[in-house]
A and B are shown apart, each in its own frame.
Chain A
Amino acid sequence: MAFQVTEKNFEDTIKSGKTVLIDFWAEWCAPCKMLNPVIKELESEMDSEKVTIAKCDIQNEQALATKYGIMSIPSLLIFKEGEVKEQIVGVVPKQKIVEKMKPYID
């Protein structure tokens, strides 16, 4: 299970030097659940030395959702060195997520 980011550990996570994918989700959102297995696969396939995959429950972390302008879920944000590099909205194939992440993986 991907680890859950909260306001407390968010900054440290995105500034860890790794490429970070954060999945903004909520319990009430069916498409978010459809994306879960994709996130799990990404987690097991990607090099954890270089990539962090995390989830952000927007019900508990409304401030983070607001800060990053999340208005639709699921939304995936790709961070590098603390900056948002890409945003992917909705349920998309795994390959598309990998393609978007690739340029930011060392």
Chain B
Amino acid sequence: MKDLIILGGGPAGLSAGIYAARYKLDTMLLEKEYFSGGQILNTWLVENYPGFKEIKGTKLAKRMEEQAKSFGLEIKQEVVKEVDLKGEEKIFKTADKVFKSKTAIIATGSNPRLLNIPGEKEYYGKGVSYCGTCDAPFYKDQEVAVVGGGNTAVDEALYLTKYASKVYLIHRRDELRADRILQDQAFENSKIELVWDTIPKEIDLSEGDKHILLHNKKTNEDKKLKVDGVFVFIGYNPNNQLFKDQIELNQAGFIRKQKLSSIETNLPGVFAAGDIMEKKLRQIVIAAGDGAQAAFEANEFITKTY
């Protein structure tokens, strides 16, 4: 039996792995993808992680992984299908394997949220995208819509201006939520046009009449906006499917904090870190901090209990 199993290999999981390995806990990290890093793999440039003025998301992920491995962390690519976290033994089952541990750190993160409007599914991959850095080059000299108003949305809108001739930034409120430095860049960029107080109702990218149907909440008017592509960045849903009937969640589906200063879940020996936790701000630096604390608490739990 392992001392600790970490579920998820994003910044929270990798940071927990670094700390746990240095505590000399017998630790295994399970990541469903073939590459560690989680969502930062989809981030073009990270500009707010201390120590790096700017670094590509893929590079930062690689460095975190290498650092964790250098301290002896075992990282396995495994798709976990089922967990049992309630007992003394924490059990993780894949299609053909079972892993057991004394403690667990849940770092499964979150996934981009969908608009859930007509046309979104139909045109996914044919004009609807959730990755600006992947798909921006397809829109050279074309017009696109970006939906959202947070850091990711504004960052991706700015990236898209390298290719697109026009980027409409569609936001449901009358001010952006993104960091001021990003807002300023967006306001100064002549290719970006803000569309305030507006929610998308329908996407239709059929040849000859490509558009997104917009609803203005203030004027109550609907209008068609001609665009060639729609990029969606409206926040994230928690990846809680594996344990939602075992760990206490908040209404939005994120793991509920039991104490203000801690990252314990309601189950003994089970800790959570990163985006999957309930919190106001989801950032790489916070995930890394959570990971460190979760490993510390797992270590303390093992010392006390075993």
Contact = CB atoms under 8 A, between A and B. Distances in A.
Interface in A11-55: 26, 28-34, 36-38
A71 B135 contact: yes
Contact residue range for chain A? 20 to 34
Interface stretch (B122-130, B149-157, B167-175): B122-130
B247 interface: no
Given A30-B58, A33-B35, A72 B125 contact: yes
B134 A75 contact: no
Most A-side CB within 10 Å, residue of B77, B128, B133, B135: B135
B129 to A, nearest CB: 5
Interface in B211-244: 229
Contact of A30 (B124, B126, B134): B134
A33 to B, nearest CB: 7
A93 B79 CA distance: 9
A28 B41 CA distance: 11
A4 interface: no
Contact of B33 (A32, A65, A73, A91): A91
Contacts of B125: 70-72, 75, 87, 89-90
Contacts of B124: 72, 89-90
B127 A34 contact: no
A71 B41 contact: no
Contacts of B129: 71-72
A103 interface: no
A69 B126 contact: yes
B34 A37 contact: yes
Contact of B41 (A26, A31, A69): A31
B182 interface: no
Contacts of B127: 71
28 contacts: A26-B134, A28-B137, A30-B41, A30-B42, A30-B58, A30-B133, A31-B41, A31-B42, A31-B131, A32-B134, A36-B34, A37-B34, A38-B34, A59-B137, A69-B126, A71-B126, A71-B135, A71-B138, A72-B124, A72-B125, A72-B129, A72-B131, A73-B134, A74-B134, A89-B124, A89-B125, A90-B124, A90-B125
Interface of A: 26, 28-34, 36-38, 59, 65, 69-75, 87, 89-91, 93
